[in-house]
Amino acid sequence: MSNDNTTIDHGRRSLLRASAAVGLGATLGLGGMGRAAAQSGKVVRIGYQKYGTFVILKARGTLEKRLAAQGATVQWLEFPAGPQLLEGLNAGAVDLGTVGETPPIFAQAGGVDFVYIGNEPPAAASEAIVIPKQSPIKSIAELRGKKVALNRGSNVHYLLVRALASANLKYTDIEPVYLAPADARAAFEQNNIDAWAIWDPYFASVQNAGGKVLTDGTGLVRNLQFYLASRKYAEQSPELVHAVVDELREVDNWGKRNPAEVVRVLGPQTGLDPAVLDLAVKRYSFGIQPISDEVVAYQQGIADTFTELKLIPRKLDVKQAQWKA
């Protein structure tokens, strides 16, 4: 119970920070074009995480220029993980955001009204189950009865389920410890958990510090990165959604050609060591694409898995969240 409360409390604090950030923008006022855009309602509130294409886009400032030409402005809101970001979207504090493959499943099950607007290609090697460098554990099978930390409902939740199944273990054979990344990192370093299911750049940081990899997602999951929008926002402002997707595509094309520049741009945005970012960027997948029926089918498989595990309360129809713009 305490672990679930920890996750919920972090989500609430994240949501409060997001709401405060939105309020702060309104309180300070937005000069010139920005103020007019805010008054007309043409604002794109983007939820992002510590790492990824949105962070690069934010740093480069090209989206602001693009939207200014359309009489709109941007507000950026940082969240520690996908589930917390989707809480922000559900509360009306976020219009668009980026999350991994599992958070949308839990969100749809919880009644969050969103649509998938695009996804990056698979990046299975960008998430992993890691153990402390002094740990005697040598295989996934040895996690039986052990404490494994993860952010509940995040992309690594599915990785953990799939990894356990590959070793003929059930989810109930381990003790899941639901923690947001910062708290999980502290527990990992203090040896209060036996393993940690985590994604980049936190994964790269653990590796850089000597942590050992039990398995990454290769052969187990795709680890797709999704871009989502509030259904209401996508229906009311499709031209702004398309503008954001176009700018993401431009940044992805630039990122593919300039990995060293990506590391340089992400440095001040994330505060991470260049060696950590270099490792993470090497396994990042650039190339936003429309949501295909094949991707919807993959997400449906994830949803069905969590329904069978009784981790979500009902069977979902993922297709209902596919944007048809």
Q: Are 299 and 105 in contact (CB under 8 A)?
A: yes
Is there a contact between 52 and 78 (Cβ–Cβ < 8 Å)?
Answer: no
Task: Give the torsion sign (CA, 264, 268, 274, 276).
Answer: negative
Query: Residue 295: what pLDDT?
Result: 98
The per-residue pLDDT for range 164-186, each reduced to its tens digit, is 999 999 999 999 999 999 999 99
Which phi and psi (to 5°) does residue 71 adopt? 75, 30
Residue of 203, 138, 131, 143 lying closest to 175 (CA atoms)? 143
pLDDT score for 325: 74
- Specify the pLDDT at position 16: 35
Provide the whole-model pTM: 0.85
Q: Which domains does the chain have, with CATH numbers?
A: 2-121+224-321 (3.40.190.10), 124-216 (3.40.190.10)
3-state secondary structure of 287: coil
Q: Return all residues near 239 (Cβ < 8 A) that are at least 6 apart.
A: 70
End-to-end CA distance of the chain: 42
What is the per-residue pLDDT for 30?
A: 33
Q: CA 242, CA 198: separation in Å to the nearest integer?
A: 31
Walking along the chain (325 residues) 10 residues at a time, the average pLDDT comes out as 36 36 33 38 91 96 95 96 96 97 97 98 98 97 98 96 98 97 96 97 96 98 98 96 98 97 95 96 97 97 97 96 89
Read off the pLDDT of residues 239-283 as tens digits, 9 standing for 90 and up. Answer: 999 999 999 999 999 999 999 999 999 999 999 999 999 999 999
Closest of 180, 206, 200, 197 to residue 285, by C-alpha:
200
